[in-house]
Amino acid sequence: MSLLACVAGLLSGLVAYALFNLIALALNITFMQAVSFELPSLANHDLGLWIVVVPAIGGLLVGLMARYGSPKIKGHGIPEAMEAVLTSDSRISPRVAIFKPISTVVAIGSGGPFGAEGPIIQTGGALGSLLGQVVSTTAAERKVLLACGAAGGMAAIFGTPLAGVILAIELLLFEFRPRSFIPLVIATAVATALRHILIGEGPLFAMDAVPFGLPFNAPAYVVFAILIGFVAVGFSKLLFVVEDAFEALPVGDIWRPALGGLGLGVIGLFAPEVLGVGYDLIMGALNNQLAVSALLSIAVFKTLALLVSLGSGTSGGLLAPMFMTGAALGSLFAIAGNVLLPGAPLEPAAFALVGMAALFAAASRATFALIVFAFEITCNYEAILPLMLVCVIATGISILFMRTTIMTEKLSRRGLRVNQEFEVDPLERADIASVMRTRFAEVAEDASLALAASRLGLAEQSHSHCEALLVVDAHHALAGVLTRSDVLRAQTEEPAAEPRTVRTVCTTDIVRAYPDETVREAVRRMLFHDIGRLPVVSRQDDRSIVGYIDRAAVIAAHRQGMHEEGMALPRGENEAR
């Protein structure tokens, strides 16, 4: 898996580099009529009134690719990667790996207000999935390779390997285990090293050192966090309202991205700077280089452009435009605070950074990843506290007012449930010794079958509800297990010449458990062997019985875990007990 993770990181890094350069080339050819691999600023485009038509043509081409290539290319990429993990054993079609980057180049190259990161994450995930399909792997291993490709793509674009690892854990893996964490780190390390060779060292968004003003500015950060949390909720809900409006239009799927592109072109006629990836504007906001008018234009028109174009079903990334909007809102908040409260030392660049991270963190609930992401951009330890404060408060607002996230709403509408809360299984916390029964039913191996049937409640006028008996020999050592099924099967067979004993009917191929194992391990063994109970034996002597664990003991362990979490039982269950 580690070797395959290296390959996944290498592939995703190469694709990220290629896609980044193709987007720059497409933007230069379309808007500047020049051949260059440097991302241009579209504020000085040479299209004239054609700026209204070009995004519509790009939208039409994306619609055709979605119709005849793969419908999975629509959207910003991460939910589609999550769906592959949840519904198809982490198998992604080769068509997605081909058409997603092409559609992204077309969409952004024609003015789409997107970043390349979402499509890169989906494309990198597709490459990892394909690698797991070419090489014989299990569904769990394919999921890890998919996440490796996705995390490698993000690390290769932004130069933030730690954030790539954590984002993959929070949004794709739904687990934190060494079997997935080690390959993830290897893949992102390889992708980041490749980025250093092909693009250069340092993160995509370099930022000068700025004062964050803690603890004096803490109240201002709290107010801003509440504000940005509500903005994230409003933006997320509005995006799906726009999507629903486009779905309701009486036109085919091919034409909806074209209509969205036409609306985008109209916006670009008045605010061309919001078209394209806009990395230069994010850098400007982070380094306090944008005027108030430019910040207002970004906050309003970039949001409108993103809603219209992405809501129409085209292809593009969501991270960069939300980063831009969050950064603009942060700068505007600090500037307004300094005007309303003269002398308030609010640094616009500092608020731009926390706004950039908090808006996407609240909308996606990938809070930890975005805190680390913003820290990796600055490499400034002073940024940690304001980032943590603003991101978690904004995420709390999102949790209170939004049942799903901007990543999971589509999946929820399709009937899929995405659990983004990481917790230790109560059965992993409890050991068998703490829940096993030390008093249990047993029977001698030379006892008659009639006696065993009576003790199992299979004889007339028997009131026993015992499901199984532990069979012991003359030295009280474990010799087998006798279940009700064993007795019933023996009773239906032809009568033997001599009366049957327990020894001739019981199961002697015993599946055991040990007191120092977790209850989870006992459950795995029960499921694998399709049995409902296990004798618990000593580590020193596997015939020395020390206890007995069955389904009731497992339920009791789970109930104890619920009690520790403060989870009340449904009304009436306590009385039923």
Pairing of strands 442-444, 468-472: parallel
Q: What span, in angstroms and rounded, lies between the C-alpha atoms of 387 and 372?
A: 9
DSSP states along 283-339: HHHHTT---HHHHHHIIIIIHHHHHHHHHTT-B-BSHHHHHHHHHHHHHHHHHHHHH
Entry pTM: 0.80
Per-residue model confidence as pLDDT tens digits over 380-429 = 788 899 999 999 999 999 999 998 888 888 778 777 777 666 666 778 88
User: According to the model, what pLDDT value does residue 524 have?
Assistant: 92
Q: What is the pLDDT of residue 393?
A: 97
Q: What is the pLDDT of residues 60-70, one digit of tens each?
A: 999 899 888 88
Of the listed ranges 134-148, 279-293, 448-462, the least confidently predicted one is 448-462
pLDDT in tens, 499-542: 778 888 888 889 999 999 999 999 999 999 888 889 999 999 98
Query: Tokens 């051949």 belong to which residue?
Result: 35
Instruction: Give the whole-angstrom CA distance, residue 22 versus residue 19.
Output: 5
Binning pLDDT at 50, 70 and 90, where does residue 301 land?
Answer: very high
Tokens describing residue 491:
């009773």
Note whether 1 and 141 are within 8 A (CB). yes
- Give the mean pLDDT of 259-280: 88
- pLDDT, residue 420, reads 64
DSSP classification of residue 481: E
3-state secondary structure of 470: strand
Kindly provide the b/e burial profile for residues 494-524, where b requires at least 16 CB atoms within 10 angstroms of the residue's own CB: eeeeeebbbbebbeeebebbbbebbbbbbbe
Residue of 41, 61, 44 whose CA lies nearest to 53: 61
pLDDT tens track for 320-341: 889 999 999 999 999 999 998 8
Q: Reply yes or no on whether the pLDDT at 167 is more than 50.
A: yes
CA 458 vs. chain centroid, Å, equals 51
Q: How confident is the model at residue 124 (pLDDT cuts 50, 70, 90)?
A: confident
